[in-house]
Amino acid sequence: MKFLWNLAKKNLSRSRIRTSISAIAIAVAIIAVVFARGLISGMIESTFENHIHYKAGHIRIIDEEYKLKERLLSLNYSLDGFNGKGYSEMIEKLKSVEGVKQVIPRLKFGAVVSRDDELVGMMGWGIDPAEEIAFTRIDEKIIEGRMVEPGSREVVIGAGLLEKIDREVGDKVTILYTTPFGSFKGSTFQIVGKLQSALQILDDTIFYLPLDQAQRILEMPGEVTELLLITSNQYKAASILPGLNELFSQEDESGKYILQVWNKDYELIGLFDIATKIYNFVYIFIILLACFVLVNTLIMIVNERTREIGMMSALGLSSREILYLFTMEGAIIGVIGSAIGAVLGGVLTKVVSVIGLDYSAAMEGMSADLMFEPIFYTVFSLENLVFCFVLGVFVVTIACIIPARKAAKLEPTEALRQI
Amino acid sequence: MSLLELKGVKKIYQQGKIKVPALRGVDLIVEQGEFSTIFGPSGSGKTTLLNMIGCLDTPTEGEIRLNGNKVSDLSRKALAMTRRFNIGFVFQSYNLIPVLTAYENVEFAIRLIDHTSELKVKERVLKILEEVGLKGLENRRPNELSGGESQRVAIARALVKEPKLVLADEPTANLDSKNAADVVKIMVKMNKELGTTFIFSTHDPMVMEYAHRYINLKDGMISADERRG
């Protein structure tokens, strides 16, 4: 077979332009696939990260009823620890479960601020600043001022929300809210920081305040609305569920709490899995489109070399060897095209992983609930390049079997008769 | 045992609804070492008969035996193997592979059957190229060779694997008289030295001069079969 392999290589030099065009077509397709995979990986990773940071942790503990009323920011289904002993004790016990690295408490509530004669709706997040910084690095998103400190009546507000309520860092703001007991109250806070992130929900809707202050104004001492558990590996978060279930069966008599795993109990994340599988078919389709150029070239080659195929048959080459010869010719073009495509696609992906692609105009009408950032950064990985290269070579080689079979099926006498 | 035996070989081609008989019942025996020509007018079935003998095609009816083995009803793959090991072909238009040098074109044929050392293959290829008068032209590609030189490469390619039978379909038709004579002389020499059996189809009286046997084909049947000397 070695001499057939050598012949296949030499045959590619017969028409360098034709070989180059075919290889370029494959390369362009592979560039597109490398880039698309990098972009989609970037979108998914970024969305997963935001989903974990601002919504789900790796595992979220909430009251079962809160799940149904979460959109209304109900405070009636709070988390008050095991048997009402407070969330602090619950955190300590959760930290003793193997695999739990960090526990983040949050108290989320709805509020309004008056601006002239209109009310601006917003969402307050009572947080433990140290834990929140360690988890989400939120301090890096503060573009002016600083993060709130425990025990202080201060807030950090998103840039978009600050603009909406016409306030600046250093100003005071009176926030109106309803306690779980139905009292409508107001409290004044000092604005100590301005937050700017890529997420619409953070910039336009949320303000942070110290957890103790949120508990104080809402009259909810020892209560939060949720606890987020962080593990060492987000993709193995579910593996600590048995330990947690054991703790809850021992400590929690009410049975009112539920555990939500970030990638199992949220519909949106499930959709990403489906989307990823669909995209894999799209990648194959893109390469197949490029294969049309190559298959067409090979069909032309087979037609041009019909007499030669007849001669090779006469020399004693079997159909299988002729099939091998033509498939190898296509496969070599596939290897060259895929290698060039993988390298150039890798360069493009690397560049966009630094500068990003701004989709903000396209995302203007989308719900703020979606944790998409308007600037997408691709993910550069060698795995992506190797995957696309192998996929390219595989698909191209399979596609080449069509013209190669045409060559292999030629009857020697008919082939030799060809002028 | 004869090298080649044909008994009642018929070949009918189907062209649409019409059946076209190309061979109407050929009986032929060829012995080892013969130097025979098949001649006859166009459409008489010369190429079809060579295709049958060369295992490039199978007869519609009748039996072909090569070296005593029945080859007329072999599978496509078995036919390919029979051609590979037993038969050499020389074509009117040389049919060399343009991207390969003269050496590589000849090597191509031997690589199919010989998986021995590089050195032995090289030795054999260079020897046969020398015998056909192409010493020094080994590294030339077909587009750098004259018609006569190209046909010599084709002869070397057919002979390098030392087949029992070489079939040549009008091998001198594209050559001038000097080159045609040179090519035929080479084949005569190989016939004598190696004992290779040659069967030609030709219109060329000069080629026929060298033949030991003349098989005249007319309307798909052998109308005359004469031996000289």
Q: Give pLDDT tens digits for A238-279.
A: 899 999 999 988 888 888 899 999 888 777 777 888 888 888
Q: Which residues of B touch A310 (CB under 8 A)?
A: 95
3-state secondary structure chain A: CHHHHHHHHHHCCCCHHHHHHHHHHHHHHHHHHHHHHHHHHHHHHHHHHHHHHHHHCCEEEEEHHHHHHHHHCCCCCCECCHHHCCHHHHHHHHHCCCCEEEEEEEEEEEEEEEECCEEEEEEEEEECHHHHHHHHCHHHHEEEECCCCCCCCEEEEEHHHHHHCCCCCCCEEEEEEECCCCCEEEEEEEEEEEECCCCHHHHHCEEEEEHHHHHHHHCCCCCECEEEEEECCHHHHHHHHHHHHHHHHHHCCCCCEEEEECCCCCHHHHHHHHHHHHHHHHHHHHHHHHHHHHHHHHHHHHHHCHHHHHHHHHHCCCHHHHHHHHHHHHHHHHHHHHHHHHHHHHHHHHHHHHHCEECCCCCCCCCCCCCCCCEECCCCCHHHHHHHHHHHHHHHHHHHHHHHHHHHHCCHHHHHHCC
pLDDT value for B2: 86
Please, are residues B74 and B83 in contact by the beta-carbon 8 Å criterion? no
pLDDT value for A362: 66
Give the tokens for residue A18.
């034709």
Lowest mean pLDDT among A72-81, A100-109, A228-237, A264-273: A264-273
Please, are residues B38 and B200 in contact by the beta-carbon 8 Å criterion? yes
Give A282-336 pLDDT, tens digit per residue: 888 888 888 888 888 888 888 888 888 888 888 889 999 999 999 999 899 999 9
Nearest-5° Cα angle at A55, A52 to A58? 40
Residue B12 forms contact with A (CB below 8 Å): no
Q: How far apart are CA B61 and CA A369, in angstroms?
A: 80
Give B115-136 pLDDT, tens digit per residue: 677 888 899 999 989 988 889 9
Please, are residues A342 and A385 in contact by the beta-carbon 8 Å criterion? yes
pLDDT value for B150: 92
Are B83 and A316 within 8 A, CB to CB?
yes
pLDDT, chain A, mean:
88
Among the partner-chain residues A10, A315, A413, the one whose CB lies closest to the CB of B51 is A413
Please, are residues A208 and A189 in contact by the beta-carbon 8 Å criterion? no
Among the partner-chain residues A11, A311, A316, the one whose CB lies closest to the CB of B99 is A11
Tell me the domains of chain B and their CATH numbers.
Answer: 32-60+73-227 (3.40.50.300)
pLDDT value for B206: 84
Give the tokens for residue A370.
């979606």
Q: Considering only CB atoms, which residues of chain A are within 8 Å of chain B? A: 2-3, 7, 10-11, 13-14, 307-308, 310-311, 313-320, 411-413, 416
Q: How far apart are CA B203 and CA A279, in angstroms?
A: 65
Using a pLDDT cut of 70, give the percent of chain B over it.
99
pLDDT value for A170: 93
Are A14 and B99 within 8 A, CB to CB?
yes
Please, are residues A19 and A333 in contact by the beta-carbon 8 Å criterion? yes
Among the partner-chain residues A311, A320, A411, the one whose CB lies closest to the CB of B95 is A311
Give the tokens for residue A200.
């619409």
- Is pLDDT larger for residue A268 or for residue A63? A63
The secondary structure element, H or E, covering residue B153 is helix B147-159
pLDDT value for A300: 86
Are B56 and A10 within 8 A, CB to CB?
no
Return the closest-CA partner of residue A210 out of A235, A190, A230, A226: A190
For residue B173, give how far its alpha carbon lies from the nearest alpha carbon of chain A (Å): 15
Give me the helix-helix angle, B118-131 and B147-159, nearest 10°. 130
Query: pTM for the complete prediction?
Result: 0.77
ipTM confidence score: 0.86
- Strand-strand pairing, B165-169 and B87-90: parallel
What amino acid is encoded at A288 in this protein?
L
Residue B46 forms contact with A (CB below 8 Å): no
pLDDT at residue A60 above 70?
yes
Q: Which residues of A touch B71 (CB under 8 A)?
A: none
Are B56 and A311 within 8 A, CB to CB?
no
Q: Is the dihedral of CA A384, A387, A393, A396 positive or negative?
A: negative
pLDDT at residue A417 above 80?
no
pLDDT value for A92: 92
Query: Within 10 A of A398 (CB to CB), how many other CB atoms are there?
Result: 15
What amino acid is encoded at A178 in this protein?
T
Among the partner-chain residues B93, B98, B112, the one whose CB lies closest to the CB of A317 is B112
Chain A's closest residue to B97, CA to CA, is: A308
Q: Which residues of A touch B54 (CB under 8 A)?
A: 314
Please, are residues B28 and B88 in contact by the beta-carbon 8 Å criterion? no
Among the partner-chain residues A10, A307, A318, the one whose CB lies closest to the CB of B95 is A307
pLDDT at residue A370 above 60?
no
For residue B229, give how far its alpha carbon lies from the nearest alpha carbon of chain A (Å): 32
CA atoms within 13 A on the CB side of A218: 29
Positions in chain B short of pLDDT 70: 115, 229
Q: Which residues of B touch A416 (CB under 8 A)?
A: 56, 91, 95
Are B89 and A412 within 8 A, CB to CB?
no
pLDDT value for A322: 92
Best residue of A306, A318, A323, A326 to probe chain B, by most B CBs closer than 10 Å: A318
Compute the average pLDDT of residues A174-187.
91
Compute the average pLDDT of residues A383-400.
91
Lowest mean pLDDT among A138-147, A361-370, B39-48, B130-139: A361-370
